[in-house]
Chain A
């Protein structure tokens, strides 16, 4: 058993070594500039999200409109994943890019309205203020629909199952199909980083920020973010890859009205509660 754990822990190290040793290969008439922007852009995007997170009582960048910043950043993922597919100048990548845009249409609107719920409840767009406003009750308890839509959005922007059709096995990897070497390493690291960053931002939004017994606030943020990222990956791996043409209808006809209803309930509670 320890041997199995050891090899499981070595997987990321071995993959990193493999990709660092690999010479990146190019495709015919690839749009190298846009392709490189896309492959190297995901990781900085995740870092820009992480600096907004209040670790305990202080964020690296404490911004009065942190929620808007996060939203603006997650829309950047649209451009980057699309360019990743476009830049390679090959069919699988291009179709992967199309698929991502179709999925993004499905998850982005519910995500935007999900972000509104905690902001309305805390009467602030500052992630620190939102975290502090949950001293009585975590928002996840009475905003489950918004939390769900948010989690779906995080899985979508990090191109993870079940919203990973853009990188699906049926497209030979889709937007990842032509990537090799360090370019591939940056993209894969960027996808994991986006998952973690999305989970970390959920902590001040829905999970009470640094609130928790015994341990210091920053450690609680790390623990909650880690647990949520793990849970998202675990749930995702048990779900099939959802095809974009199947996702759009329930996302707009069912999820979007439900999230709006959630916003309405939150607003009603704030006004009359």
Chain B
């Protein structure tokens, strides 16, 4: 094996995987994430950090378009795969790694690809600048940011950021169109891609723990998040809940003991442990309109945390949620 072979073998030891999740595929997504972690691979947070785009479930037309755009943003060498069933996960990852390590094939694919981003056609990140204005003040078709007053009356540039749908710890198929002043949310609009019948909200312990682990991940506590995902026994979950609520630094970082995020994190763990009263207002679902109201005026980090606590309900059926 030559030097090039050694390099490609080393380079594909820790594949970075970006997951694009279609609605109603969270079981496959969880299986994929588990398999990725078991192999010592990495779940990427952004397209620039990914070698592999894993499409989970079957995306509809709109999500499909977004997946294509994200695919355009992966650096070479890159691979994509699609899995629709838990059993296919391991095999698909093996095949993807082999394809990634195939240097000559990757080089051919990269040669046919334009080296820079295509102005007008690509958005940066998952950014979308709303109405494209091809005026003089619009380099590459992107209008310059305009100013407006934020909630404190400060004049700030306004940025438009759609959060989702290809984003970690985020409800599948949901896009939150935000206008940002700095990192403060001004306006918010909720969009559902490929709106179709959704399953009723699942509130089993697994879903709750997965959401709680997402919150811990976003808060920078990876080890604690991994432990949350491994919990099964209700008594151990209850002990874990008490431990999390006793972690003063964590709670302070999440916004303080009485904050919305901490209350909802507590509710997730309580529901997983079977300790939560059915009538607890926090276990009730959140409509899209309510979500838009909830995120207004908060900063971007808080929005991410808050949405992560709501994933089980936001992915479920809205009619059931309203009731």
Which A residues are closer than 8 A to B by beta carbons? 7, 10-11, 13-15, 17-18, 20-29, 88-92, 94-95, 98-99, 161-162, 164-165, 168-173, 176-181, 184, 237-243, 245-246
* Count of chain B residues near A, Cβ 8 A: 59
Which B residues are closer than 8 A to A by beta carbons? 7-8, 10-14, 16, 40, 45-46, 48-49, 51, 73-77, 110, 115-117, 119, 122-125, 127, 139-140, 142, 159, 161, 167-169, 180, 182-183, 217-223, 249-250, 252-255, 299-302, 304-305
- Chain A CB count within 10 A is highest, among B12, B73, B75, for B75
- Point out the residues of chain A lying under 8 angstroms from B183, CB to CB: 95, 98-99
- Point out the residues of chain B lying under 8 angstroms from A177, CB to CB: 45-46, 48-49, 125
* In contact, A18 and B14 (Cβ under 8 angstroms): yes
Query: For the complex, what is the distance from the CA of A241 to the CA of B252, rounded to whole Å?
Result: 11
- Point out the residues of chain B lying under 8 angstroms from A10, CB to CB: 10, 13
Query: For the complex, what is the distance from the CA of A22 to the CA of B193, rounded to whole Å?
Result: 32
- Point out the residues of chain A lying under 8 angstroms from B8, CB to CB: 21
Q: List 20 A-B contacts (CB under 8 A).
A: A14-B11, A14-B13, A20-B11, A22-B51, A27-B117, A91-B125, A91-B127, A95-B180, A168-B218, A170-B304, A178-B124, A178-B125, A180-B75, A237-B223, A238-B223, A239-B220, A240-B219, A242-B253, A243-B253, A246-B252
Knowing A14-B11, A28-B123 touch, does A22 contact B75 (C-beta < 8 A)?
yes
Tell me, rounded to whole Å, the shortest Cβ–Cβ distance linking A273 to chain B. Answer: 36
- Chain B CB count within 10 A is highest, among A169, A179, A245, for A169
Tell me, rounded to whole Å, the shortest Cβ–Cβ distance linking A84 to chain B. Answer: 13
* In contact, B253 and A92 (Cβ under 8 angstroms): no
- Point out the residues of chain B lying under 8 angstroms from A246, CB to CB: 252-253, 255
Query: For the complex, what is the distance from the CA of A240 to the CA of B262, rounded to whole Å?
Result: 14
Query: For the complex, what is the distance from the CA of A89 to the CA of B159, rounded to whole Å?
Result: 11
Residue in A18, A29, A164, A179 whose CB lies within 8 Å of B12: A18
Residue in A20, A23, A90 whose CB lies within 8 Å of B75: A23
Residue in B16, B45, B142, B218 whose CB lies within 8 Å of A28: B142
Query: For the complex, what is the distance from the CA of A164 to the CA of B253, rounded to whole Å?
Result: 12
Query: For the complex, what is the distance from the CA of A14 to the CA of B217, rounded to whole Å?
Result: 24
- Point out the residues of chain A lying under 8 angstroms from B222, CB to CB: 237
Residue in A22, A27, A98, A240 whose CB lies within 8 Å of B221: A240
- Point out the residues of chain A lying under 8 angstroms from B302, CB to CB: 243
- Point out the residues of chain B lying under 8 angstroms from A241, CB to CB: 219-220, 253
The residue in chain A whose Cβ has the minimal distance to the Cβ of B74 is A25
Query: For the complex, what is the distance from the CA of A27 to the CA of B211, rounded to whole Å?
Result: 32
Query: For the complex, what is the distance from the CA of A237 to the CA of B142, rounded to whole Å?
Result: 39
Given contacts A22-B11, A173-B46, 16 further A-B contacts (CB under 8 A): A14-B10, A14-B13, A18-B11, A23-B77, A25-B74, A27-B117, A28-B123, A90-B125, A91-B125, A162-B220, A168-B301, A171-B304, A172-B125, A177-B46, A177-B48, A243-B299
Query: For the complex, what is the distance from the CA of A211 to the CA of B12, rounded to whole Å?
Result: 44
- Chain A CB count within 10 A is highest, among B45, B182, B252, B304, for B45
* In contact, B117 and A26 (Cβ under 8 angstroms): yes
* In contact, B13 and A91 (Cβ under 8 angstroms): no
Residue in A165, A169, A238 whose CB lies within 8 Å of B45: A169
Query: For the complex, what is the distance from the CA of A24 to the CA of B76, rounded to whole Å?
Result: 8
- Point out the residues of chain A lying under 8 angstroms from B119, CB to CB: 28-29
- Point out the residues of chain A lying under 8 angstroms from B223, CB to CB: 237-238
* In contact, B140 and A29 (Cβ under 8 angstroms): yes
Residue in A11, A98, A239, A240 whose CB lies within 8 Å of B14: A11
- Point out the residues of chain B lying under 8 angstroms from A171, CB to CB: 300-301, 304
Query: For the complex, what is the distance from the CA of A26 to the CA of B114, rounded to whole Å?
Result: 11
* In contact, A172 and B220 (Cβ under 8 angstroms): no
- Point out the residues of chain B lying under 8 angstroms from A178, CB to CB: 46, 48, 124-125
- Point out the residues of chain A lying under 8 angstroms from B305, CB to CB: 170
- Point out the residues of chain B lying under 8 angstroms from A173, CB to CB: 45-46, 48-49
Query: For the complex, what is the distance from the CA of A168 to the CA of B74, rounded to whole Å?
Result: 20
Tell me, rounded to whole Å, the shortest Cβ–Cβ distance linking B246 to chain A. Answer: 14
* In contact, B249 and A239 (Cβ under 8 angstroms): yes
The residue in chain A whose Cβ has the minimal distance to the Cβ of B221 is A240
Tell me, rounded to whole Å, the shortest Cβ–Cβ distance linking A92 to chain B. Answer: 6
